[in-house]
Amino acid sequence: MINSRSKKVLLVSPKAFPAELTAGYKSVRQVAAQTAIFPSIHELKPDVILFDYEYLGAELEKVLRRLQSNNFYRNIKICCYKNKEHTRVDGLLKVLGVNHFFYQEDLEKVTKSKAALNAVNSVLDASLVSWVAGVA
């Protein structure tokens, strides 16, 4: 779900996190402790940092301000996962450097559309198999 050009992803969240956001990436490091964020950034040098807003809460603003004030972090894209949209909070986070937001609603829409597409594909596959069997 994150940009396909991103090679290294740092995930700042508790252990229970939607796997759809980081599916397909081999170099994903999950950090649960807030004190381990910056040492992990220096060690991994990620292309993208994905924050769980509900997990960090008020600490996210401090972390974003620190990321914005140092030139070392300039090329890192910052994403934020939230349960629901809130225009005031999202506006503040956008000003503090968040490039993209992921919402719970978006993930549910993606899984529903994938399920519908899979059902259509299975029907088409079954009809093609029966057609090919009839031809042979």
Whole-number average pLDDT of the chain: 77
pLDDT of residue 17: 65
Residue 128: pLDDT band (50, 70, 90) is very low
Cβ within 8 Å of residue 110, ≥6 positions away: 1, 20
Kindly report, residue by residue over 24-59, the tens digit of the pLDDT: 667 788 888 888 999 999 998 998 998 989 888 889
Q: Domains plus CATH for the chain?
A: 4-131 (3.40.50.2300)
Dist. CA 37–CA 30, nearest whole Å = 10
pLDDT of residue 23: 65
- Residue 16 scores a pLDDT above 60: yes
**Residue in 51, 41, 35, 72 with CA at minimum distance from that of residue 2:** 51
Whole-prediction pTM: 0.69
- Residue 10 scores a pLDDT above 70: yes
Kindly report, residue by residue over 55-101, the tens digit of the pLDDT: 888 899 999 999 999 888 888 999 998 888 888 988 999 999 999 98
